[in-house]
Amino acid sequence: MAQINTLLDSFEKDRSYVIKALQTLQEKEGYISDEGIQSIAEYFEVPPVEVEGIVSFYAQFKRVKPGRFVIAVCDGTACHIKGASLVTNWISDEIGIKGGETDEEGLFSLDIVACLGCCSLAPVISINGKVFGNLDRKKLMKIIKKYRKKGGEV
């Protein structure tokens, strides 16, 4: 809570900054917690239900704490053509989660994202920002296995 309050201190106490504050909080914590909503509501003097409404209205905000490893599947044009849907299905089958979800152990989250900027490597994923390209099922399973086994030391 103290960390959130420190973060909020950089904002003018004007309700027009609520969305910016939510974005900043999510950048820092990876999601919007109940405490985050409460702190923002108190700081900007708006009802918590209003802040909750903003969070649920915009798809960019996440209410669930992300897993230790966030897998982002690129579904930009190049990756889409080269089988991004297949990659997503392979990951879903292997980990048991769909886009936007986190597994029960809190190890993996799966996001479907726009172009990651390395289209020549399509299809592409990133895990906590590290890019893996030219994926086929075998290569993908090897990557996931290594993350599971070594705790991300790939």
Pick the binder of ligand FES from 74, 125, 143, 144 (CB under 6 A): 74
Our CB check for ligand FES shows the closer of 116 and 144 to be 116
Our CB check for ligand FES shows the closer of 44 and 75 to be 75
Q: Are 44 and 17 in contact (CB under 8 A)?
A: yes
Pick the binder of ligand FES from 19, 64, 107, 118 (CB under 6 A): 118
Listed residue (148, 60, 51) closest to 100, CA to CA: 60
Q: Write down how long the chain is.
A: 154
Q: Tell me which residues in 75-114 interact with ligand FES (CB under 6 A).
A: 76-79
Binding track over 7-46 against ligand FES, x by CB under 6 A: ----------------------------------------
Q: CB of residue 116 vs ligand FES: minimum separation in angstroms?
A: 4
| Beta-bridge mates of residue 34 | none
The DSSP code sequence of 11-37 is: S-S-GGGHHHHHHHHHHHHSS--HHHH
Q: Tell me which residues in 43-72 interact with ligand FES (CB under 6 A).
A: none
Reported for 118-122, long-range contacts at CB under 8 A and 24+ positions apart, including other chains, are: 119/76, 119/77, 119/78, 119/79, 120/78, 122/74, 122/76, 122/78, 122/79, 122/81, 122/82, 122/84
Q: CB of residue 77 vs ligand FES: minimum separation in angstroms?
A: 5
Residue in the shown chain whose Cβ atom is closest to ligand FES: 76
Q: Is 143 in the site for ligand FES (CB under 6 A)?
A: no
The answer for residues whose C-beta is within 8 angstroms of residue 105's C-beta and 6 or more apart is 67
State the residues that interact with ligand FES by CB under 6 A: 74, 76-79, 115-119, 122, 124
